[in-house]
Chains A and B, each alone.
Chain A
């Protein structure tokens, strides 16, 4: 059974750095072709792709957020960590992590974690 779960703060103040952890089970990030990505969704709005890390530690980022994002993996712990610096109220959103299957699509998703940015 494949599961993913996001964890992290529910409230951050402006200019702070957000750190989110995706803890998964049922697959390994050392398997050829696998990856884990992060996607966010502001309340009432569309999905926005943020970042992706591959089994070989290759990484991809959204160009518009590249300077603020960092993604890393801890393969033995089955975790992927996303950090986003200089948080702003417009970054208020539900943040999802999802498994990238070998064909490239996101086939399993976490339940999402709502992060509110407010002073």
Chain B
């Protein structure tokens, strides 16, 4: 089973700042099969990035994903008020599919 470790646990930033979130895998993720989700309280997760770097439909270009094998990054270039939420990475290249424990992006 691939274990995903996200860091930091909490990121305290101001609107307009750049956010960099990390997701590290215990083994290489097959074919860059890594996704990023955003989740707000009381809501279902929303797909932001799939294939490590492809934006999902309707996702603003301030969200970008990068990385390969065991190291992946989600970058939010300039935080908007609606971006403060919890972010999860997930690998879907091998079974069991696994999620990271999440990074909370909070307003400083």
A105–B44 contact, CB under 8 A?
no
B96–A62 contact, CB under 8 A?
yes
Complex Cα distance A60/B97, Å?
9
Could you say which residues of chain B place their CB within 8 Å of the CB of A112? 44
Q: Which 8 A-B pairs have the closest CB atoms?
A: A105-B50, A109-B44, A104-B92, A47-B99, A105-B35, A49-B97, A60-B95, A46-B101
Task: Determine whether A27 belongs to the interface, using a CB cutoff of 8 Å to chain B.
Answer: no
9 residue pairs of the A-B complex, CB under 8 angstroms, read: A46-B88, A47-B90, A47-B99, A49-B90, A60-B95, A103-B50, A105-B92, A106-B92, A112-B44
B51–A105 contact, CB under 8 A?
yes
Query: How many whole Å from B57's CB to the nearest CB in chain A?
Result: 8
SS class, residues of chain A in contact with chain B: strand
Could you say which residues of chain B place their CB within 8 Å of the CB of A109? 44-46
Q: A104-B93, A109-B44, A111-B44 are in contact. Are A49 and B50 (CB under 8 A)?
A: no
Query: How many whole Å from A66's CB to the nearest CB in chain B?
Result: 9
Complex Cα distance A96/B88, Å?
15
A-contacting residues of B (Cβ < 8 Å)? 1, 33, 35, 37, 39, 44-47, 50-51, 56-57, 88, 90, 92-93, 95-102
Task: Determine whether A57 belongs to the interface, using a CB cutoff of 8 Å to chain B.
Answer: no
Complex Cα distance A63/B3, Å?
13
> Total number of A-B contacts with CB less than 8 angstroms?
64
Complex Cα distance A37/B90, Å?
13
Query: How many whole Å from B28's CB to the nearest CB in chain A?
Result: 16
B50–A107 contact, CB under 8 A?
yes
B96–A105 contact, CB under 8 A?
no
**Closest Cβ neighbor of B93 among chain A residues:** A104
Could you say which residues of chain B place their CB within 8 Å of the CB of A61? 96
Complex Cα distance A43/B46, Å?
18
A63–B35 contact, CB under 8 A?
no
Task: Determine whether A48 belongs to the interface, using a CB cutoff of 8 Å to chain B.
Answer: yes
Could you say which residues of chain A place their CB within 8 Å of the CB of B88? 46-47
Could you say which residues of chain A place their CB within 8 Å of the CB of B47? 105-108
Complex Cα distance A61/B39, Å?
24
B44–A63 contact, CB under 8 A?
no
